[in-house]
């Protein structure tokens, strides 16, 4: 039994349309996975900046034996700006502009708490 040519062409068109639907679905699923991956990468990069600043802060300020050098202060300032978080930058400004040791300790605690809270997991 032989199918008429019109039915074969119709069947091929239907199969091609079904394949297109499957491929479009896979495309949109892939787009969603790419968006998720981009968000994870952005979160990872943000966390890395926060953690790097925190490490530098501990090594250059908390473990400092004397006065912090200009180069270290500049590196810390650049690192805090690189985080691109206004609350962290504002808290950094409060810390470096503290009028006395007691105020500096309070602002230090606030800065460290803020840094820990800014790490996304």
Residue 98: which region, alpha, beta or left (left: phi > 0; alpha: psi -120 to 50)?
A: beta
Q: Which domain holds residue 24?
A: 5-118
Q: Tell me the C-alpha distance between 40 and 46, whole Å.
A: 10
State pTM to two decimals: 0.76
Provide mean pLDDT across the span 66-80: 94
- Provide the number of structural domains found in the chain: 1
Contact between 75 and 60 (Cβ < 8 Å):
yes
Average pLDDT, the chain: 93
pLDDT of 3 strictly over 80 = no
Q: Give the pLDDT of residue 4.
A: 84
Provide mean pLDDT across the span 19-32: 96
Q: Give the pLDDT of residue 110.
A: 96
Query: What is the number of alpha carbons within 13 Å of residue 34 lying toward its C-beta?
Result: 6
């Amino acid at each position: 039994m032989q199918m008429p040519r019109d039915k074969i062409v119709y069947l091929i068109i239907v199969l091609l349309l079904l394949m297109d639907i499957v491929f479009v679905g896979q495309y949109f699923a892939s787009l969603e996975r790419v968006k998720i991956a981009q968000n994870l990468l952005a979160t990872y990069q943000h966390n890395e900046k926060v953690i790097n600043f925190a490490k530098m802060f501990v090594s250059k300020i908390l473990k400092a034996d004397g006065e912090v050098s200009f180069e270290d202060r500049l590196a810390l300032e650049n690192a805090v700006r690189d985080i691109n978080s206004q609350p962290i930058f504002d808290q950094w400004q409060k810390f470096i502009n503290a009028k006395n040791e007691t105020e500096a300790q309070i602002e230090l605690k606030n800065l460290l708490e803020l840094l820990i809270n800014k790490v996304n997991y």
